[in-house]
Structure 1
Amino acid sequence: MSLIQENLTVDSVNSVQQQAVALATTDENLNLIELLMKGGWIMIPIIFLLFLALVIFFERYITIRKASKTDSGLMSQIKSNVMSGRLDAAIAVCRSSNSALARMLQKGLARVGRPIKDIEGAIENAGKLEVSKLEKNINILGIVAGIAPMLGFVGTIFGVIQIFRDVEVAGGIDIGSVSGGLYVKMIASASGLTVGILAYIGYHVLNMMVERVILRMETDSVEFIDLLDEPGV
């Protein structure tokens, strides 16, 4: 009789092990897309926000990188032309260089002969316009960073409400169903937080890049104003 009980015990252990292996295999076969889709309808706006953030980040990153490229010969050419009294040639150099700095200096060169304050004002206004072009749509990343986590929490809350509604209808608590339902609904929160963190990082990376471009533009514009203050110009 004890031998039979021992065999039954071994069979039960083997059965549990087989079920565990099958469950693990099922979990491994669950790919990322299927896992995300278990988060419910709230995943649709979260995925849209992720796509929007990626498009804005890479578009702005490429644009700012182009604007940050320094033309080492630009200031030297402008300086030599201005010192020689060839303002038209200096303006032509600015027009041939498709950069924010060149467009700023062109505004200043067009006002040479007027008071320095007027030239500084023209360069400053042109600089503000160029900076606004660089910062275009960057604030949307900040909005995404704030909205995405909240959407994730909303999705999780609605999921939890649905779980307890099902418990009420069933008239009892099934720990397996509740824990499994919570695991699925927490996907929305994790996804929202991930998108929010990525958007937050992208927002600050782009702002730091813009600040470096602004610093270089300010440095070169000060050098240009000092050039105009030199005797003989």
Structure 2
Amino acid sequence: MNLLQIPSPADSAQAIYNTIQQTATAEAESVTMNAFDLALKGGWIMIVLLILLMMTIYVLIERTLVINKAGKEDNSFMNRIKDYIHDGKIDAAIALCRHTDTPSARMVEKGISRLGRPTTDVMSAIENQGNIEISKLEKGIPVLATAASGAPMIGFLGTVTGMVKAFMSMASAGANVDVNILSTGIYEALVTTVGGLIVGIIALFAYNYLTTRIKGIVNKLEMRIMEFMDILNEPAA
């Protein structure tokens, strides 16, 4: 009887493959777990940063939808308003403005409602309505500005508190200083700094994007004011 059994090459290859696969899986799980544990090391600072990140994403999506709706308008809108006003169909012009339901349409409607008054009164009413529309578009933008400037500072606060914990652990350990004792405070210091910078950068980009879009809407509103005043000042055909 042969007591020494030599495995076949196929069995050896399969065993090596299984070993490599198990090792890779274990390392992937370890990396995932370590990344999650690393985020947890940030403590309550990471919760604050997470809240700021969620607020930033919400404002970005919500304001983008609002701005997209505000920027949509029929290219023939002002021509139709001109025809209605020159034909004396004021009610039809107001109905068109209400149906269009955009910031520029509401400004024009405000101007139409002041027809017959001095030009300065009409202009003042339109500009006041324009300021109201702009303030509506800018709703939530201060949240992004706060997150962009505040998140890195909150992350830095976590860095300071983490280092304080690390030095307190060193002082408590005395001569028996262990790296594992210091790791908790150092993890918190590093994670909160990175988290604060990530949230701050996202908020900053969102702020610049939305403010640029709003400036485009403001320019369009100013053009509509000039077009409407030209309609009032030009003689009917």
TM-score, normalised with respect to structure 2: 0.82
Alignment of 1:8-157 (within 5 A): 27-30=30-33, 32-157=35-160
Measure how far apart 1:181 and its partner are: 4.6
CA distance, structure 1, for counterparts of residue 34 and residue 102 of structure 2? 46
Corresponding letter in the other structure for 1:64: I
SS in 1 for 2:88: coil
Q: How many percent identity over aligned positions?
A: 39
Measure how far apart 1:166 and its partner are: 1.0
Q: State the partner residue of 2:209.
A: 205
Task: Go from structure 1 to structure 2 and tell me whether the alpha carbon gap of 1:105 and 1:22 turns closer, same or farther (over 3 Å shift).
Answer: closer
CA distance, structure 2, for counterparts of residue 198 and residue 102 of structure 1? 33
Q: Which runs of 5+ in 2 are unaligned?
A: 1-23
Task: Go from structure 1 to structure 2 and tell me whether the alpha carbon gap of 1:184 and 1:45 turns closer, same or farther (over 3 Å shift).
Answer: closer
Q: State the partner residue of 1:194.
A: 198
Measure how far apart 1:182 and its partner are: 2.0
Measure how far apart 1:57 and its partner are: 1.5
Among 209, 216, 220, the residue aligned to 2:220: 216
CA distance, structure 1, for counterparts of residue 216 and residue 203 of structure 2? 20
CA distance, structure 2, for counterparts of residue 216 and residue 181 of structure 1? 53
Corresponding letter in the other structure for 2:49: I
Measure how far apart 1:154 and its partner are: 1.0
Over residues 147-180 of structure 1, what are the superposed CA-to-partner deviations in whole Å (9 max), with x where a residue is unaligned?
1111111111111111111111111344565467
Q: State the partner residue of 2:4.
A: none
83-92 or 152-161, which moves further after superposition? Answer: 83-92
86-95 or 212-221, which moves further after superposition? Answer: 86-95
Q: State the partner residue of 1:12.
A: none
Corresponding letter in the other structure for 1:188: T
Measure how far apart 1:143 and its partner are: 0.8
Corresponding letter in the other structure for 2:213: M
Corresponding letter in the other structure for 2:41: K
TM-score, normalised with respect to structure 1: 0.84
SS in 2 for 1:30: helix
CA distance, structure 2, for counterparts of residue 176 and residue 27 of structure 1? 18
Q: How much is the aligned-residue C-alpha RMSD, in angstroms?
A: 2.2
Task: Go from structure 1 to structure 2 and tell me whether the alpha carbon gap of 1:213 and 1:230 turns closer, same or farther (over 3 Å shift).
Answer: same
145-154 or 121-130, which moves further after superposition? Answer: 145-154
CA distance, structure 2, for counterparts of residue 58 and residue 154 of structure 1? 29
Task: Go from structure 1 to structure 2 and tell me whether the alpha carbon gap of 1:79 and 1:31 turns closer, same or farther (over 3 Å shift).
Answer: farther
SS in 2 for 1:85: coil
Aligned residues: 213
CA distance, structure 2, for counterparts of residue 211 and residue 126 of structure 1? 16
CA distance, structure 1, for counterparts of residue 25 and residue 60 of structure 2? 42
Corresponding letter in the other structure for 1:109: I
Measure how far apart 1:136 and its partner are: 0.9
Corresponding letter in the other structure for 2:68: R
SS in 2 for 1:29: helix
CA distance, structure 2, for counterparts of residue 65 and residue 31 of structure 1? 41
SS in 2 for 1:114: coil
CA distance, structure 2, for counterparts of residue 64 and residue 29 of structure 1? 39
Q: Which runs of 5+ in 1 are unaligned?
A: 1-20
